[in-house]
Structure 1
Amino acid sequence: MIEKERILIQSPLFAFLLWGVSWFFLSSSYQGLGLVLAVLVFLRLWQIQNKKEHLLLVIVCLFASFLLLEEKKIIEAPFQEQEVSWLVKPKWETKEEKENQTSLIVEYKNQEYQLWLPKKKVPSAPFSYWQIKGVVQNGQKARFQHGFHECLYFRGKHLAGKIMGKDVTVCSPFLPSWHQKMQLWIQKKVHAFPSCTQKYINQLLLGKNMTEGEVKKAYRQLGVIHLLSLSGLQVLLMVWVVRKILWQCHLPREITFFCELVLLWNIYWFCGQGIGIIRSGLQYIFLRIFQHFSLKPTLYETWGLAFCCHWLFCPSLGLQVGAVLSYLLSLFAYFCFYEKEKHGSLLFFFLLCLVMSRFFFEVSIWSTFWNFIFAPLFTYLLIPFLFGYFFIFSFFSFAPLQQLVENALRQLDQLVIFGNQYNFSLTLKPFSSILLCLCLVTFLWYWQRRFFQQKTKGLWWMLLLLFILNPCTLKKEMNVIDIGQGDAILFSGSHYAQEHYLVDCGGKIGQQGPKREDAERNLIPFLKSKGVWKIKTLFITHADWDHMGNMVALAKNFQVEQVMYSLGCDKKGTFAREKAAWQKIQPKTKFVPLIAGKQEKNQTLTWKTLWPKEEGSGRNEDSLVLQVHLGKRKCLLLGDAPKEVENQLPSLTTDFIKLGHHGSHTSSDENCLRAWKPKIALISCGYHNRFHHPHPEVLAVLKKEKIPYYRTDLQGTITYQVSLLGKEKIQVAIP
């Protein structure tokens, strides 16, 4: 093997191995397969020269993978919450504002928690103890597969949980450390800049996440969100400046290195302990250690060592999107700009598909083009400029220049938003662990070939294999989606070009203003995680907001062939407004009113309308009642139909029943349940909802009739699957 190829696969191979094996170890059923994969790759590496150089890193990789077994225990830990009244020590420098809430880190008994308070209740006493009354939680589990896992997020941030504060009282002051004073000073200096400049300084220099909004969404959909993880470049700039100054003073190499370590440690504390800062610092330390022993490391070696060392002490690193994007971008920069590798953009697109599908469920077709434009802009212009600009104008003020910079950054935001308007994103299901690791091993095998002409062919075959195999499914599914206090049920087919039917789309009660749609937190990510980009039919059972409030959000994100609704729904103002807004976004969508007797049969499912029998006005009494056949099973979907409607339905039997009105006592008549003989009841309601659904009376009826039930408030999304061979399975997100 020639030298260039040997160096090329050396460290990235360990990183990818660590990534793939770690994902295997997250699932107990794949532990043995993950270990076999690790051994096979290790044996392949053993054939490479200088095998001793690889042994330590392989051991680190395997050790880090075994540490993920501890992470699994955290995932399986039960959710807990309790009312508390604690005396906490706030870390004012961690304060962030999101919508009408403020979050910051507080310390209690040597453990750190994320505190959430309404903006109006946050005291202006940064260096005083606070008496907090509220509810402490150890972290919610993901409400659906591939969803946001709060436990792992807290683990990655080294937090014990979060506190939902209700009341706060300022107590005695404490003596702050000089680190805290300096961080507060930096924070005040940042707030002196205009808003858009603040946003980029916080994100790129201090490692603080940009507030969710139109700009951040545009960065994500263009496939350049990883550029906002470049917060480590300023570390190298500062260290380089200090090193040059110390060299001019003719200080010994050992003293210079010690001063650099002190500087790196302080940067780590001052700049928010961001992932990019840790990555850059570790890479620089390894580089200097190699140089001390007169070795000439490659950038791949320092990158791989930093990656493995970081993962060793933080096993959940690979589950943090910021960490993966930061390391991925730095590898891409080395690969394309330093080695000038002609296949670099293709490799980057390959990696981007894997990462974006895992975290965001979509990737921009034009991501390579936008990265070609924005990567040099951020790396060589924006970050160095912001570093010098912030350092100088923290002490001086020159309003015309500051306004000029602010306008330039606003134009950058507008450019990103404009580009996103003409962007085309490809929705991708998250790749399975088996498919992911097989593709990585295949790619590495191709890359080690001596024949360069085969590399491009191998990469293209790899991409083609990923895009062809990933959407394939051999199962039909029904998903009762956990969207809080509302209804949304997805039916999916079992063939390659899946057909998707959505019954209701949820909507947060009381949220009908310009705030971020509730759908962006649950419904849209779930649908994209299932590979949905087109919906054949959207059923709206009636005009209550918790059943149709996310219609516009759906229209912005998915193609919908037709919307079917109970006859008379458009008499209600809320539905009429949503319908008008929808038709402006997707004018080709058909709106079809339904009445009892309408039915349809296709290869995905068969459905029949049982109610309403006449035109209504969108009330609960006018709810669309559907009987759906999925495979050999029958599902009865009651919407919000009350008992009076249930008693007027035709005689029938069913296997699954979605209880009416989220389990309210106004629905689920005992005699009807006895006549329908359902095998399983499904209850869609929000966690700790203000209506106290499901009602104890309904649960008592289910227990009396010996009908097992599933609840989205306690168990998250409920999934029923049936394979082509007829094998059935019910899964819940939270066992």
Structure 2
Amino acid sequence: MLKGNWIFICLAALLGVLFALEGKWIFLGLAILLFLFLRLVRKFSAKMMLITVFIFILFLGRTELTERLEQTLFTGEEKAFFILFEEPPKIDGNYFTTYGKDEGTKETFVLQYRLSTIEEKEAFEQISVGTVCKVKGNLAQPEPSRNPNAFDYKEYLRHEHISWILEVENINLNQCEEKRNLLAYLQKIRQNGIQYIYAHFPQNTAPFAAALIFGDRNLIEPDLMTAYQRLGIVHLIALSGLNVAMLIGILFYTGLRLHITREKMVYALMAFLPIYIILTGGAPSVIRACLMMLFALVLTKFSRKKLMPVDILSIVFVGYVFIDPHIIYNVGFQLSFVVTYALILSASILEKYVLKPVPFLIATSIISQIASMPILLYHFFEFSIVSFLVNLVYVPLFSVVITPVLMIMYFLHLLIGDLLNPLLHFFDFNLRLIHQLTLYLSKFPLNTLVLGRPSNFVLILYCVGIPYFFFRWEKARTIKQIVVAVIIPISLLTLHLLTIKLDVSGEVMIIDVGQGDSILIQLPMNKGTYLIDTGGTLQFSTEEWMERADPFEVGKDVVVPYLKSKGITKLDKLILTHGDMDHVGGAKAVLQSLKVEEVVLPKVEEPSELEIEILELCDEKKIPIHFAIRGDTWTAGGYRFAVLSPSNTVHVEKNDQSIVLYAEIAKLKWLFTGDLEEEGERKLLANYPKLKVDVLKVGHHGSKTSTTESLLDQLEPKVALISARENNRFGHPHGDVLARLEERNIRVYRTDENGAITFQFRGEQGTFLTHFHMIKRNPN
């Protein structure tokens, strides 16, 4: 009865979950449209319609029940816990993190701890999965994102059913006990397998062997991971259906060669597949592939009925989502199911090329890349435009050589040990060459197309246009018809690009970079894009064992991703107000990631080491540098900008050398003051005695030595913007500054309290918005 129709059951289930989790009536509307389509177009019977409606209601109710039952049982005041370690600990430098379950409530926490000595680090590396330890610490709620489009750790943990971060103060490793059950035993096998690889495999091979055998990618070098992402081939170093099929094939063939009957091997594989899910860490792509394989084996063994692959995939989807409705937010889950659906439903397209290896590989790559395009753009804001070509080389290389060889060498090493070392080192040498090629290719310009996060309207167009493209390709019989079909995804990308470049609105954005400044000015119709400062992360000298593989850096991890989320690939001006780390520390990441037409700096007598590095990078990249002085002006799109400070003299305190920028935007007069302090303010007022502004970016993060009464009395601002880290050690903004602003009824927006601050404008009208307020308005 449901043969060939499970995909519609799948859609009904998905809409039920989305309606429950998002609370938006559009999903109910889409469900009603689905029901009408099934009744009027697909001619579903009354019985089939009842089943579909029942599935929608069932998944709606299941999700609502999940939300109510998963409320935390902790108040946040608890200090002592018995924690079951559920995953191998991740230790990066002196930073320890893992997942652990409270033995009493069975509630899962994220555990975080700063290791104090190398001996402690070595001891913590030995913590086994399945161990129960007494842990003392403090519960803290996860932080939400502080900028639009940024990764929201709090939401991520919510979808992982985690409400608290346990900030560890003490773990007595001598009083831990091992929990004995099958799950813990299998998880420990995985942990031991990963440790075995790192202990016995060479430096280049070990991270890839751990990734492709046990699903652990933690120790792949960040630069190499970024290179694979830029080339659109990162899926090759993640466990997927290909790895599952390959391993099952190897095991099945080995069993037959050992004279085990085909029937017994089928039973053995059915028992092995659930175990393999645990051994590989339970990634959604592996769960999907294993369940599909298991379902197919069960049908082959116990039923004469044959199901279409799309039905098997849909049944797996329905079962998976019923167990964990929140899994629909997992990027790996989305990519795995969407790409697999696309490949299965495009079987008639692939059949045309099945006897031609290269065209078949190209067609498979195109289908996979086009199907995944809206997901990649939504989450990562960019799309690889060379992946179609790169996959021609890397897919066969990984599927035919690297993955099977790594699997075989791992099992051989378990049998013969160090006798395999010559072969391992030969393989490692060749893998290093592949790594070097990957890094080289990733540095080519125009590898990726940065379009920013698509709007809801554009996202809907992708969801409609991409299936239509596959439909037209399927029906195409001539080269001309294929070319016409290809125009569809190209048109979608072009339309997406135009919505970014021809946006009639603009914005002034105070990016929340913690204790620092970074301000984006984006004029309408792409008339001008200016970034004032980049924030920066203070780096302290540490012992080698404490250094992290990929330390947080605000330019790389906050500013550049935000700019990419807006579809920004070029800055007309990068204005660095002065050389303090918290203003220019992220400049190198911006210069390396985006095209910058001009860098604007103040003229100083003795540039800092960081400023020298920026100047050298600009010289290397042939970026013009302008040393701003009072009197510089420019106009773009009818908007006026003027530099009011510094003057020609350089014999002043560093903060008072800050570039002070005046702008007229949306009928408002703006003043961006860098870290200007009292003496600099006095000179500014003396040079411009009639200066008035509407919006003041408060100098030096609201320190006591800035934003004096004389400045406020003359400028008479209506709005004050303060960029400072929450609970920063400097006490910014100072109470005296806040009192002065309050006395004059000046509206204050602060990144420490409000997150990012945005002024959106169209023409002469504009509105101030804060990120945390927007989150509250749209909690889901």
TM over 0.5: yes
Task: Choose which of 128, 139, 143 in structure 1 pairs with 2:142.
Answer: 139
1:452 aligns with: 476
The SS at the match of 2:404 is helix
More deviation, 138-147/302-311? 302-311
Matched, 1:297 2:319: no
More deviation, 192-201/43-52? 43-52
The 1:355–1:156 alpha-carbon spacing in structure 2 relative to 1, beyond 3 Å, is same
Task: Choose which of 494, 497, 504 in structure 2 pairs with 1:467.
Answer: 494
Matched, 1:432 2:462: no
1:691 aligns with: 730
AA at the equivalent of 2:601: Y
Task: Choose which of 210, 216, 221 in structure 1 pairs with 2:225.
Answer: 216
AA at the equivalent of 2:589: A
The 1:134–1:360 alpha-carbon spacing in structure 2 relative to 1, beyond 3 Å, is same
AA at the equivalent of 2:455: S
More deviation, 186-195/420-429? 186-195
AA at the equivalent of 2:494: F
* Cα distance in 1 for residues equivalent to 2:717 and 2:22: 33
* Cα distance in 2 for residues equivalent to 1:205 and 1:484: 39
More deviation, 107-116/635-644? 107-116
How do 1:468-487 and structure 2 match up within 5 A?
468-469=495-496, 470-471=499-500, 472-487=502-517
Matched, 1:596 2:630: yes
AA at the equivalent of 1:489: I
Task: Choose which of 543, 546, 559 in structure 2 pairs with 1:523.
Answer: 559
The 1:608–1:719 alpha-carbon spacing in structure 2 relative to 1, beyond 3 Å, is same
2:414 aligns with: 394
Once the two structures are TM-superposed, the CA of residue 55 in structure 1 deviates from its matched residue by: 7.9
2:357 aligns with: none
How do 1:494-505 and structure 2 match up within 5 A?
494-495=524-525, 497-505=526-534
1:642 aligns with: 677
More deviation, 324-333/265-274? 324-333
Cα distance per residue 1:295-317 (max 9 Å; x no partner): 33333332333334333433333
Once the two structures are TM-superposed, the CA of residue 260 in structure 1 deviates from its matched residue by: 4.3
How do 1:225-624 and structure 2 match up within 5 A?
225-239=234-248, 245=255, 257=267, 259-291=268-300, 292-331=302-341, 334=344, 335=346, 339=351, 344-397=364-417, 398-424=420-446, 425-445=448-468, 447-448=470-471, 451-452=475-476, 457-469=484-496, 470-471=499-500, 472-495=502-525, 497-510=526-539, 516=551, 517-568=553-604, 571-584=607-620, 586-587=621-622, 589-603=623-637, 605-616=639-650, 619-624=654-659
The SS at the match of 1:393 is helix
* Cα distance in 1 for residues equivalent to 2:366 and 2:53: 27
Once the two structures are TM-superposed, the CA of residue 729 in structure 1 deviates from its matched residue by: 4.6
5+ residue gaps, structure 2? 354-359, 542-546
Cα distance per residue 1:313-368 (max 9 Å; x no partner): 33333433333333345456654796456765444343343222112211222121
The 1:304–1:493 alpha-carbon spacing in structure 2 relative to 1, beyond 3 Å, is farther
AA at the equivalent of 1:732: H
2:197 aligns with: 190
Please report the TM-score for the alignment, with normalisation by the length of structure 2.
0.82
Instruction: Figure out how many residues of one structure are paired with residues of the other and give that number.
Output: 719
Once the two structures are TM-superposed, the CA of residue 635 in structure 1 deviates from its matched residue by: 1.8
* Cα distance in 1 for residues equivalent to 2:734 and 2:69: 32
The SS at the match of 2:288 is helix
Task: Choose which of 726, 745, 755 in structure 2 pairs with 1:716.
Answer: 755
Cα distance per residue 1:13-44 (max 9 Å; x no partner): 8878988997898765xx23333234334433
* Cα distance in 1 for residues equivalent to 2:289 and 2:218: 20
Cα distance per residue 1:670-701 (max 9 Å; x no partner): 34224433222211122333323222332333
Cα distance per residue 1:694-726 (max 9 Å; x no partner): 223323333333323222233322111012473
* Cα distance in 2 for residues equivalent to 1:593 and 1:532: 24
The SS at the match of 2:453 is coil
Task: Choose which of 88, 91, 114 in structure 1 pairs with 2:85.
Answer: 91
1:126 aligns with: 127
Matched, 1:112 2:108: yes
* Cα distance in 2 for residues equivalent to 1:114 and 1:720: 36
* Equivalent residues of 2:211, 2:217 under 8 A apart: yes
* Cα distance in 1 for residues equivalent to 2:69 and 2:754: 17
How do 1:27-38 and structure 2 match up within 5 A?
31-38=24-31
2:717 aligns with: 678
Once the two structures are TM-superposed, the CA of residue 580 in structure 1 deviates from its matched residue by: 1.2
* Cα distance in 1 for residues equivalent to 2:458 and 2:67: 21
AA at the equivalent of 1:101: Y
Once the two structures are TM-superposed, the CA of residue 411 in structure 1 deviates from its matched residue by: 2.0
Once the two structures are TM-superposed, the CA of residue 487 in structure 1 deviates from its matched residue by: 0.8
The SS at the match of 2:733 is coil
Once the two structures are TM-superposed, the CA of residue 538 in structure 1 deviates from its matched residue by: 0.9
The 1:114–1:436 alpha-carbon spacing in structure 2 relative to 1, beyond 3 Å, is same
* Cα distance in 1 for residues equivalent to 2:251 and 2:656: 74
More deviation, 83-92/225-234? 83-92
Matched, 1:39 2:32: yes
* Cα distance in 1 for residues equivalent to 2:428 and 2:325: 39
* Cα distance in 2 for residues equivalent to 1:27 and 1:93: 30
* Cα distance in 2 for residues equivalent to 1:81 and 1:601: 55
* Equivalent residues of 1:60, 1:312 under 8 A apart: no
The 1:106–1:427 alpha-carbon spacing in structure 2 relative to 1, beyond 3 Å, is same
* Cα distance in 2 for residues equivalent to 1:344 and 1:268: 26
* Equivalent residues of 1:595, 1:612 under 8 A apart: yes
AA at the equivalent of 2:26: L
More deviation, 458-467/630-639? 458-467
AA at the equivalent of 2:401: L
* Equivalent residues of 1:429, 1:529 under 8 A apart: yes
AA at the equivalent of 1:311: V
2:356 aligns with: none
Once the two structures are TM-superposed, the CA of residue 220 in structure 1 deviates from its matched residue by: 0.8
Please report the TM-score for the alignment, with normalisation by the length of structure 1.
0.87
The SS at the match of 1:521 is helix
Cα distance per residue 1:639-697 (max 9 Å; x no partner): 11112322332343322221111122121223422443322221112233332322233
* Equivalent residues of 1:206, 1:231 under 8 A apart: no
The 1:358–1:69 alpha-carbon spacing in structure 2 relative to 1, beyond 3 Å, is farther
* Cα distance in 1 for residues equivalent to 2:424 and 2:108: 37
1:3 aligns with: none
AA at the equivalent of 1:596: R
AA at the equivalent of 1:323: F
* Cα distance in 2 for residues equivalent to 1:145 and 1:21: 27
* Cα distance in 1 for residues equivalent to 2:248 and 2:701: 59
AA at the equivalent of 2:491: L
Cα distance per residue 1:31-78 (max 9 Å; x no partner): 233332343344334423777789867865786678778999999x99
The 1:569–1:519 alpha-carbon spacing in structure 2 relative to 1, beyond 3 Å, is farther
Once the two structures are TM-superposed, the CA of residue 591 in structure 1 deviates from its matched residue by: 0.9
Once the two structures are TM-superposed, the CA of residue 132 in structure 1 deviates from its matched residue by: 3.8
More deviation, 103-112/478-487? 103-112
The 1:528–1:267 alpha-carbon spacing in structure 2 relative to 1, beyond 3 Å, is same
Once the two structures are TM-superposed, the CA of residue 504 in structure 1 deviates from its matched residue by: 0.7
The 1:53–1:421 alpha-carbon spacing in structure 2 relative to 1, beyond 3 Å, is farther
Identity %: 24
* Equivalent residues of 1:90, 1:104 under 8 A apart: no
AA at the equivalent of 1:360: F
* Equivalent residues of 1:16, 1:440 under 8 A apart: no
* Equivalent residues of 2:190, 2:214 under 8 A apart: no
* Cα distance in 1 for residues equivalent to 2:171 and 2:559: 34
AA at the equivalent of 1:519: G
The 1:176–1:240 alpha-carbon spacing in structure 2 relative to 1, beyond 3 Å, is farther
The 1:69–1:466 alpha-carbon spacing in structure 2 relative to 1, beyond 3 Å, is farther
The 1:569–1:685 alpha-carbon spacing in structure 2 relative to 1, beyond 3 Å, is farther
Cα distance per residue 1:404-446 (max 9 Å; x no partner): 2222222221121121122522111111223212332244356
